[in-house]
Amino acid sequence: MESLIKRLDDSEPPLLSVFLDTPSGGKEWQQHRKCLGDKLDSLERNPDLVSRFGKSVLGELFARARSVAEPTSAWAGDYGSAGILVSRSDDRFLTHHLPVSEFEYVGSEFVLKQMAPALSSQYDGLVLHFALKNPEFFRVSGRKVKQLSQSELPASIFEMSEAEVVDEGRRAHSRESSAGNGPAIVPHGVAGNDSVIERNMPGFVRDVVRVVRDLNGSRELPLVVIAKEKIASSFEEAYQNDTGALFIDTTAKSPLEETEILEICENWQKEQYNLRVKEVLDTLREADSDSSRYSDNLHDLFEGSSRGRVELCAVSLEADIWCRHDEASGKLESVPGDQRMADPEAFEVTNRIFKSVISTGGDCIAVPNDALPSDKPAVGLLKW
């Protein structure tokens, strides 16, 4: 999330953020796309935006926005809300499952806090479909799945040579073939497949683990392994000393579709995000509210986050507090919500805190009001 925020902050304005309710999800995709189109048409004609950015610039921005929402595939799935972020450069997102009411904004920065749960739940890492025949490697980033080269992976546990079966210098037991007295590997399709699997498994797993470790980034990126239970157990035992996060799914069936890969990855990433949210909230609830490090003062958290002083923070998803910052006095001055797109200096305070904390190395989550450990729209722990 930190690298994404830093990249988006460098985007050239105007920047578009739109969130909408999408009841029935993909079943009503035509209606949702039309609803988004109507919102985009209205924003493009907004006189404040036309005056601020000009028709030509807005036309370029909204043309890109419509291209993001045009493909039918963008609306597939089961979801109750959707959001879109678009810049004039190459930043474009359409994301579902947002815990937020309808909202739209065009200005000098993205409203990102509403996207936090969805973006944080997008998997960015490797996937190994570890089958006995033709194991596959994938690189998954968000909704994009790219199959990696399989040339280094062993083709099949049934086609390993005797030399490949040798594990740690010990020759594996080989079965006598009917063709002669020498050891031979039992080919796939004849009696004895279970014994072949058992005998070849250590070498097969060893070769796959070697490829995983040789793959660029495999030590830093998380790895999802999709395999039957016995294979998964063998792989986990061999891979356990590596540093990247490891998740194993033994429920998927072969052949594996791209949609299944995405679902498995997203479910695991959501679990990780929910655990992180719980950990942050528990820490804030247990913190000493009388401590000098604890704060639920919006101005203090705004100032602290801009200076990299906020270590841990939670902000309200529903908060809609628009301000401008007076550099001379250091004060936050309120801006009426209906003026937020007309005023080039206006920003939503909790959204700015959210972005600043993360981009300066802190940890910040966005949650509903009733989940916050305070009745204020933001609460955090300062580093000093």
Domain of 347, in residue numbers: 287-382
pLDDT at 170: 42
Question: Based on the structure, what is the number of domains in the chain?
Answer: 3
pLDDT at 357: 95
Residue 376 · residue 321 · CB < 8 Å = no
Residue where a domain terminates, one of 61, 81, 110: 110
pLDDT at 254: 75
**Pair (14, 150) in one structural domain:** no
pLDDT at 96: 62
**Pair (55, 181) in one structural domain:** no
What one-character DSSP code corresponds to residue 187?
A: P
- Asked if residue 130 is part of any domain, the answer here is yes
Residue (of 360, 322, 373, 366) closest to 99 by Cα position: 366
- Asked if residue 118 is part of any domain, the answer here is no
- Asked if residue 375 is part of any domain, the answer here is yes
- Separation of alpha carbons 188 and 73, rounded Å: 40
Residue for token digits 């969805």?
Answer: 118
pLDDT at 80: 83
High-pLDDT (> 90) share of the chain, %:
46
- Separation of alpha carbons 183 and 175, rounded Å: 6
Residue (of 220, 378, 242) closest to 312 by Cα position: 378
Phi/psi zone of residue 272: left (φ > 0), alpha (ψ -120 to 50 degrees), beta?
A: alpha
- Asked if residue 280 is part of any domain, the answer here is no
Using DSSP's 3-state secondary structure scheme, residue 182 falls into coil
Q: How far is CA 29 from the centre of its chain?
A: 23
Using DSSP's 3-state secondary structure scheme, residue 158 falls into helix
- Asked if residue 179 is part of any domain, the answer here is yes
Residue 113 · residue 354 · CB < 8 Å = yes
pLDDT at 178: 39
Residue (of 288, 296, 287, 306) closest to 353 by Cα position: 306
Using DSSP's 3-state secondary structure scheme, residue 309 falls into coil
pLDDT at 365: 94
pTM of the model: 0.78
- Separation of alpha carbons 284 and 282, rounded Å: 5
Residue where a domain terminates, one of 79, 110, 141: 110
pLDDT at 190: 41
Residues in the chain where the model's pLDDT stays below 70:
90-101, 160-194, 216-219, 241-244
C-alpha count within 13 angstroms, C-beta hemisphere, residue 370: 1
At 312, give phi and psi (nearest 5°): -145, 140
**Pair (166, 254) in one structural domain:** yes
**Pair (254, 165) in one structural domain:** yes
27 C-beta neighbours (distance < 10 Å), count: 13
The structure tokens listed for 175 are 């079965």
pLDDT at 237: 85
pLDDT at 25: 84
Helices (H), 182-327: 193-214, 229-239, 258-286, 298-306
pLDDT at 102: 83
pLDDT at 343: 95
Residue 124 · residue 96 · CB < 8 Å = no
Residue where a domain terminates, one of 110, 142, 166: 110
pLDDT at 45: 96
Residue 147 · residue 164 · CB < 8 Å = no
pLDDT at 242: 56
**Pair (91, 221) in one structural domain:** no
Residue 378, strand partner residues? 315
pLDDT at 94: 63
- Asked if residue 324 is part of any domain, the answer here is yes
**Pair (187, 165) in one structural domain:** yes
